[in-house]
Amino acid sequence: MSSINWQQAVYDVIKSGGIDLIGYVPDAGHATLINTAKADDAMHDVVMTTEEEGIPLCAGAWLGGMRSLLLMQSSGVGNCVNMLSLQRSARMPMVILVTMRGEYAEFNPWQIPMGSTTQAVLELCGFKVERVESEGEAAETVQAAIDFAFNSNVGVAVLLSQKMLGRKKWVE
């Protein structure tokens, strides 16, 4: 699996889409994007203690003239449900990249409930949801999400499938 190649292509799209700020809670599925953002002096990378902090982070960035993007795991979507209403109420663009859990070859049963409802939850919160199943469609889908969100002032979430990301393994 060439995860570095597709993640670098996604990062290149993020940069060309004018994204200035990336908020995230550390996640192995986003590790390459996070490390690339941290190494980029032109990118503001913000470590959050909980995913819900990312919604007002994006609102503040937008009000300050910046474009932002959130990185989170599907379980983090559940932590944000109430705060996601800010996007819809403020009619501001928002892009969230979600690494999925609770799907393909999941070892942790606690990940399954939120993983199986992530798309529905985001849609109920008013987000347009796109899903990436293969590495080859990742960059184009993220570019489309950035364009849609910032041209229409809506929220767009891109779900990165667990099968594409690869099996998570319990490490002792």
At residue 2 the predicted structure's pLDDT band, cuts being 50, 70 and 90, is: very low
What's the rounded Cα separation, in Å, for the pair 138 and 86?
A: 27
Identify which of 57, 56, 29 has the alpha carbon closest to the alpha carbon of residue 45.
57
At residue 171 the predicted structure's pLDDT band, cuts being 50, 70 and 90, is: low
Please tell me the predicted confidence (pLDDT) of residue 172.
64
Give the start-to-end residue ranges of the domains of the chain. 3-165
Give 36-68 pLDDT, tens digit per residue.
999 999 999 999 999 999 999 999 999 999 999
Predicted TM-score (pTM) of this structure: 0.94
Please tell me the predicted confidence (pLDDT) of residue 1.
42
What's the rounded Cα separation, in Å, for the pair 84 and 61?
A: 15
Identify which of 163, 85, 74 has the alpha carbon closest to the alpha carbon of residue 120.
74
State the DSSP string of 108-150: -GGGHHHHHHHHHHHHHTT-EEEEE-SGGGHHHHHHHHHHHHH
Give 109-161 pLDDT, tens digit per residue.
999 889 999 999 999 999 999 999 999 999 999 999 999 999 999 999 999 99
Average pLDDT over every residue of 11-24: 98
**CA dist list (Å): 119 to 40, 153, 157:** 31, 20, 9
Please tell me the predicted confidence (pLDDT) of residue 168.
74
CB-neighbour burial class of residue 31 (10 A; exposed 0-12, middle 13-18, buried 19+): middle
What's the rounded Cα separation, in Å, for the pair 116 and 161?
A: 11
Strand extents, DSSP E, the chain: 19-24, 44-47, 67-73, 94-99, 128-132, 155-160
Please tell me the predicted confidence (pLDDT) of residue 166.
84
β-sheet bridge partners, residue 19 = 67
Give 65-118 pLDDT, tens digit per residue.
999 999 999 999 999 999 999 999 999 999 999 999 999 888 889 998 899 999
60 membership: H or E segment, kind and range: helix 54-63
**CA dist list (Å): 62 to 75, 101, 104, 129, 156:** 25, 29, 35, 21, 15
CATH architecture of 3-165: 3-Layer(aba) Sandwich (3.40)
At residue 3 the predicted structure's pLDDT band, cuts being 50, 70 and 90, is: very low
Please tell me the predicted confidence (pLDDT) of residue 103.
92
